[in-house]
């Protein structure tokens, strides 16, 4: 499942995994959200509705470029720096290519759509 996103003149693509949470996100597309900095290592975007948490498990191998869903806040977390698993975090995909687009600071309109 491939997704194309853009904000502030920056474009990037994501590959979503096949878990129930990722499939729920894919079914919501296209989406227009607000993406903003959160902490020093991620950008976040609040979803209009929650995603499935079915089958969510603790994971390892965290790395920049991961896309996660943070269930307690119903947000997408786009990691551009190192991070560690925390309860409620579900990894749902990976950025294709570099993390460069995520380094643009500030609050922006984010558009995401299915890549056909």
pLDDT in tens, 55-114: 888 999 999 999 999 999 999 999 999 999 999 999 999 999 999 999 999 999 999 999
- What's the pTM value of the predicted model, to 2 decimals? 0.95
Residue ranges of the domains in the chain?
2-114
pLDDT value at residue 24? 98
DSSP for 87-116? Answer: TTEEEEEEEES-SGGGG--S-EEEEEEE--
- Within 10 angstroms of residue 11's Cβ, the number of other Cβ atoms is 11
pLDDT in tens, 11-23: 999 999 999 999 9
CATH number of 2-114: 2.40.100.20
pLDDT value at residue 25? 98
The span from the CA of 31 to the CA of 15, in Å, is 16
């Amino acid at each position: 499942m491939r997704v194309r996103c853009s904000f502030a003149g920056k474009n990037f693509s994501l590959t979503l995994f096949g878990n129930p949470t990722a499939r729920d996100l894919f079914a919501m597309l296209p989406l227009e959200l607000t993406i903003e900095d959160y902490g020093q290592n991620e950008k976040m975007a609040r979803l209009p509705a929650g995603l499935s948490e079915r089958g969510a498990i603790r994971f390892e191998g965290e790395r920049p470029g991961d896309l996660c869903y943070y269930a307690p806040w119903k947000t997408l977390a786009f990691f551009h720096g190192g991070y560690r698993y925390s309860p409620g975090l579900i990894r749902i995909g990976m950025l294709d290519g570099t993390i460069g687009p995520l380094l643009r600071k500030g609050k922006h309109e984010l558009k995401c759509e299915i890549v056909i």
